Amino acid sequence: MVDPEHEIYDDTDFKKEVDAFMGIKVAAIASDGFNYEAKGLQYDPYLQSFIMGSGGRICNFELKKGTGNTLVIRGLGGSGQKAIKYCLENKIDFYAVDSGYIQPSTKKDYHRITKNALQNLGPIKDRDLDRLRKLNWKYKNRNSQTGNKILICPPSDKVMKYYKKDLDDWLKETIDEIKTYTDRPIEVRIKPDRSERVTTNTIWDALDDAYCLVTFNSIAATEALLYSVPAIALAPNAASVLCNTALKDINSLYLPTKEETVRFAAHLSYCQFNSTEMQNGFAWSILNEDS
């Protein structure tokens, strides 16, 4: 169903007529940087699940370049960036798949899926709290824990490459500008490897004594807001609907109310999905409910 013409999977013993699939216009693009073979896989499992739930096909960018197919792309690897830019330049719809905003445990069970953007940019939709309960998320009241340090969470090199910026230059310029507004201590948090950042060196540990978090477009800004810490996001970000977006605001930051934060969290819970929800069509239906 996901590869009827056997462009990706080599399965010569199983053939199907492809005429019935000619109307399908969705293709998943496996991004570089994921070692599928080490896990005994031939293709990205999340993309495969989403494609099954959308009625599309698995493919790669080189095979779909030049077509008008809607593309589903995971991550910002080389082919992923090319595919996204191709869609933007040619006004073709795409769905970007990446790490979820809220995880119920230390496992990466949920992935965000965003139509025509890297992150959901709003507006915030009123949603039921049912998915928040499944995610084990609870509002964090930090009114008595103001913190003092400014926590900077730099983006990855892949993100900077996508925005045509140099990571070291961005970090230096950001620190220098912050120092013109405040003498608060600055801490730069280089993203730890996954095993460390979900156990002994979590973002929540780093936020405990933070006055605010500053980033380019990392979902760390969203994590900060959900932990009741003000944030500044300098590029399009899911948190942009509630956080500050300029360093000059660092001494007068906006902290969302409890009601705003809960509404924001509930909204985000409907912007991310697990494999089952991708495969059974729930994710596709939510992402296209306004179509």
- Are the C-beta atoms of 227 and 265 separated by less than 8 Å? no
Query: What pLDDT is attached to residue 21?
Result: 43
* Confidence (pTM): 0.89
Query: What pLDDT is attached to residue 57?
Result: 87
Share of the chain above pLDDT 90, in %: 67
Query: What pLDDT is attached to residue 43?
Result: 81
φ/ψ of 114, rounded to 5, equals -130, 135
Helix (H, G, I), strand (E, B) or coil at 117: coil
Q: What is the pLDDT of residues 187-200, one digit of tens each?
A: 999 987 777 776 77
State the alpha helices, DSSP H only, in the chain: 45-54, 61-64, 78-90, 130-134, 157-162, 167-181, 194-197, 203-207, 220-226, 258-269, 275-279, 282-287
- Are the C-beta atoms of 63 and 42 separated by less than 8 Å? no
φ/ψ of 179, rounded to 5, equals -65, -20
Locate 44 and state its tokens.
Answer: 């990205």
What average pLDDT does range 50-66 have in this prediction? Answer: 88
Query: What pLDDT is attached to residue 252?
Result: 95
pLDDT band at 61 (very low <50, low <70, confident <90, very high): confident
Q: What separation in angstroms does the CA of 229 have from each of 139, 151, 204, 208, 277?
A: 12, 10, 10, 9, 31
Measured at the CA of 209, the angle between CA 262 and CA 108, to 5 degrees, comes to 55
Q: Name which of 247, 249, 243, 245 is nearest 228 in CA terms.
A: 243
**Does residue 18 register a pLDDT over 50?**
no
Q: What separation in angstroms does the CA of 98 have from each of 10, 24, 176, 264, 273?
A: 27, 24, 31, 19, 10
**Does residue 5 register a pLDDT over 90?**
no
Query: What pLDDT is attached to residue 143?
Result: 62
Query: What pLDDT is attached to residue 15?
Result: 46
What average pLDDT does range 109-126 have in this prediction? Answer: 96
- Are the C-beta atoms of 243 and 221 separated by less than 8 Å? yes
What average pLDDT does range 56-71 have in this prediction? Answer: 88
Domains of the chain: 19-120+271-287 (3.40.50), 149-267 (3.40.50)
